[in-house]
Amino acid sequence: MSRLTRWWSGRSSAAKVELYTRWTFHVFAPLEVIALGGIPVSRGDDIRLDTLDTPALFLLVCVHAVLSAVLASRALDWGLGRRERPVRLAAALIALTGSATLAVLVLLRTGALADSSVVAGVAVGLVSFTLGHLSLCLPKVKHMLGTVPVAAVGVGAVVALLGIGLPEAVGFTVGILFGGTGLVGACGFSGWLLRIVWELERSRELKARLAVAEERLRFGRDLHDVMGRNLSVIALKSELAVQLARRGRAEGAVDQMTEVQRIARESQREVRDVVRGYREADLRVELEGARGVLAAAGIACAMEPGGGIELPGAVQSALGWVVREATTNVLRHGDAKQCRISLREEDGWVRLTVDNDGAPESASPAAPVTGGSGLAGLRERLAAVDGTLDAGPRRGGRFRVTARIPLRPGPAADASANGGASTDAPEAVRAQAAPAPEARSVAGGVTKEIV
């Protein structure tokens, strides 16, 4: 049972709708056999033709049902763009239906089939089922609906021309009009609905990819704006220093390289600022970003931002990262339809909860999720501010991520927020500003070579 549950829950919403639609058309085959094949079986005493007895009529209905089911499967694939339109298969079904209908009408006219209700049931049923399955091969609604009156009038005209009787001709026409319209509407709507569901699925995936691509472009644009000018200046001053060195003006070359060194350090600081602005996320910005990204992916997002809660900078940064990572997991994993993000204050602690309904129903809520580099990174960030992280599936196919951080983090958290060193520690500042031993030796070697 659990394997069957995983087999179903592991599919996307569009795949589930497609599976349901296909099996609906597969069920049409036994229904047609039972409904139409049962007519000659139950009225077999009225069939007195040796060459076309009751088993022959029943076999004819079975062949028609199987051919219709195959056509429906191929037509659904064509509607989803997976194969060409099954024109030959549709033509074969039309030929089989026309030949079978004409045969039973001729047998009725010649008296081989004594009961007209048998002929009416078989003929109207075959034509109606054929019209329903043919609607899956037609691209426009007017073409689908136009086939019904054409077939109804055609069968009625054949009945009248064979001299069976005008009331019988009207009865055949009305029966095909009602039965064909009902099956054409049901089959055509099912095919259209399946195409729309898959189109929405592809649109949601495309929007999610576009959101990720937009974020990458933003980061690349910020990095280009920061580094473009400085790298151009470094290239020009380095070239100038080379020219001065070749001309024997060593002092000028040293001055230019000193300026290059200053610009390089400034660029390094600016790059760190850009990366820090990207990695140390602002909670308010991340909440709005999560709402927009989830909405673009077709996921309803409910927010409880916890207005009025004053949070330190380190706490905001850590919670912002939780929102970002949890939102990413909602988009990448599962098949969520709803997501709720809440921020609350509880007894000196702030609690952030991200809950969605995209977890498989077969997932066990017994133990929290511990694997994954993303969650491990979140636990490290929260540990720096004395926080904790709990993530795992819940009952009802839900997945919940809960982060708890004290509103007054300890000294370690404050140090982490300040970059790991106090601002009034000159030795630490000098150590950070001074280049590494390898850098000093390389710089000295280059300077000595230029001089």
Tell me, yes or no, whether 178 and 294 share the same domain.
no
pLDDT digits (tens, 9 = 90+) for 349-363: 899 999 998 777 655
Could you say which of 178, 205, 232 is where a domain stops? 205
Asked if 358 and 335 count as a contact pair (C-beta separation under 8 A), the reply is yes
* Model confidence band, residue 66 (pLDDT cutoffs 50, 70, 90): very high
Examine residue 271 and state whether it is found in any structural domain, yes or no.
no
User: Residue 13 has which token pair?
Assistant: 């919403």
Tell me, yes or no, whether 431 and 299 share the same domain.
no
Examine residue 269 and state whether it is found in any structural domain, yes or no.
no
Tell me, yes or no, whether 186 and 87 share the same domain.
yes
CA distance 223 to 217: 10
Tell me, yes or no, whether 304 and 432 share the same domain.
no
Mean per-residue pLDDT for 132-153?
90
Tell me, yes or no, whether 298 and 368 share the same domain.
yes
Examine residue 232 and state whether it is found in any structural domain, yes or no.
no
pLDDT digits (tens, 9 = 90+) for 164-181: 888 888 999 999 999 999
Asked if 398 and 357 count as a contact pair (C-beta separation under 8 A), the reply is yes
Burial class (CB within 10 angstroms; exposed 0-12, middle 13-18, buried 19+) of 4: exposed
Residue with tokens 């000159």: 426
Tell me, yes or no, whether 445 and 372 share the same domain.
no
Rounded to 10 degrees, the C-alpha dihedral 7/8/12/13 comes to: 170
Most confident option among 97-111, 207-221, 224-238: 97-111
Asked if 383 and 389 count as a contact pair (C-beta separation under 8 A), the reply is no
* Closest alpha carbon to 329 in 384, 415, 391: 391
User: Residue 373 has which token pair?
Assistant: 């580099």
pLDDT for 430 = 34
* Model confidence band, residue 60 (pLDDT cutoffs 50, 70, 90): confident
In sequence order, which ranges of 139-282 are alpha helices (DSSP H)?
141-161, 166-246, 250-279
CA distance 207 to 185: 32
pLDDT over 60 at 336, yes or no: yes
Examine residue 259 and state whether it is found in any structural domain, yes or no.
no
* Closest alpha carbon to 322 in 291, 280, 293, 357: 280
Q: Which residues contact 91 (CB under 8 A, 6 or more apart)?
A: none
Tell me, yes or no, whether 29 and 81 share the same domain.
yes
pLDDT over 80 at 327, yes or no: yes
Examine residue 222 and state whether it is found in any structural domain, yes or no.
no
Tell me, yes or no, whether 395 and 450 share the same domain.
no
pLDDT over 90 at 108, yes or no: no
pLDDT over 80 at 41, yes or no: no
Examine residue 131 and state whether it is found in any structural domain, yes or no.
yes
Examine residue 384 and state whether it is found in any structural domain, yes or no.
yes
Burial class (CB within 10 angstroms; exposed 0-12, middle 13-18, buried 19+) of 25: buried
Residue 201: domain span: 9-205
pLDDT for 75 = 92
pLDDT for 428 = 33
Could you say which of 205, 225, 243 is where a domain stops? 205
CA distance 92 to 241: 84
Phi, psi of 212 (to 5 degrees): -65, -45
In percent, how much of the chain has pLDDT > 70? Answer: 77
Mean per-residue pLDDT for 125-153?
91
Tell me, yes or no, whether 379 and 445 share the same domain.
no
Which has more pLDDT, 22 or 420?
A: 22
pLDDT for 268 = 84
Tell me, yes or no, whether 43 and 139 share the same domain.
yes
Could you say which of 154, 184, 205 is where a domain stops? 205
* Closest alpha carbon to 144 in 183, 184, 191, 175: 184
Tell me, yes or no, whether 148 and 182 share the same domain.
yes
Tell me, yes or no, whether 55 and 80 share the same domain.
yes
pLDDT for 278 = 61
Least confident residue range of 28-37, 121-130, 137-146, 330-339: 330-339
CA distance 415 to 430: 17
Report how many domains make up the chain: 3
Average pLDDT, the chain: 78
Examine residue 278 and state whether it is found in any structural domain, yes or no.
no
CA distance 16 to 7: 10
